[in-house]
């Protein structure tokens, strides 16, 4: 627990963002923590614990997506993991949903860079370590990803306003 407490908020933000609209982030967190506890002996350094959690969570989510659990298909969970039954800020929720839908259109590594830097608040050095990429590769993916995301957001927005 002494390793987990300092990284909880960042880990939770990561899971919320990656699982949004497809899976329930609390399930991903719980599954990840179970695996992490079982494999804690393989951790090389306590400083790498957060990266270890991210890698484990990414693998669990990839496996979950392959299985496509029917209970989650078609259901949208808000950023707090609650099913969207209340419409108390519908416009904001639609914008967030739209952003996340467009994020899914980016390639995996670019999406990871954007999520880790823009949403989870990681530094370039941390992202380099997590994704095992060089600094220029991370910067390039962030730059291209932002441009692609802007184009995707504008294109889909124009599609709705001209219809």
Reported pTM: 0.52
Joined together, the tokens standing for residue 64 give: 């979950």
pLDDT at 59: 81
Alpha helix ranges (H) inside 25-82: 25-38, 49-67
Size (the chain), residues: 163
Give the SS3 label for residue 81: coil
Distance CA 65, CA 129 (A): 25
Over residues 121-153, the pLDDT tens digits come to 888 888 888 888 999 999 999 999 999 988 888
- In CATH, what number does 87-163 get? 1.10.10.10
The b-or-e profile of 95-125 (16+ CB within 10 A means b, else e) is ebeeebebbeebeeebbbbbbbbebbebeee
pLDDT at 85: 44
Among candidates 97, 122, 111, which has minimal Cα distance to 149? 111
| DSSP-assigned letter for residue 83 | B
Beta bridge partners of 83: 77
Joined together, the tokens standing for residue 5 give: 């407490």
Give 54: exposed, middle or buried? Use CB within 10 Å, 0-12, 13-18, 19+.
buried
Joined together, the tokens standing for residue 10 give: 């960042």
For residue 102, is pLDDT > 60?
Answer: yes
Over residues 46-101, the pLDDT tens digits come to 777 878 888 888 888 777 766 654 443 344 455 445 544 444 467 777 777 888 88
Parse the chain into domains and list their residue ranges. 1-85, 87-163
């Amino acid at each position: 627990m002494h390793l987990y407490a300092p990284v909880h908020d960042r880990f939770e933000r990561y899971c919320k963002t990656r699982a949004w609209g497809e899976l329930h982030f609390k399930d991903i967190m719980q599954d990840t923590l179970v695996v992490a506890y079982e494999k804690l002996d393989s951790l090389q350094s306590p400083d790498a614990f957060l990266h270890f959690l991210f890698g484990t969570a990414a693998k669990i989510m990839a496996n979950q997506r392959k299985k496509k659990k029917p209970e989650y298909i078609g259901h949208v969970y808000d950023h707090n993991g609650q099913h969207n039954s209340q419409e108390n800020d519908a416009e904001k929720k639609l914008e967030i949903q739209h952003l996340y839908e467009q994020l899914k259109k980016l390639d995996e590594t670019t999406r990871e860079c954007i999520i880790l830097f823009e949403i989870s608040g990681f530094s370039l050095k941390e992202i380099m370590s997590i994704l095992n990429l060089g600094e220029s590769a991370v910067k390039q993916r962030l730059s291209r990803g932002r441009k692609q995301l802007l184009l995707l957001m504008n294109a889909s927005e124009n599609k709705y306003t001209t219809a």
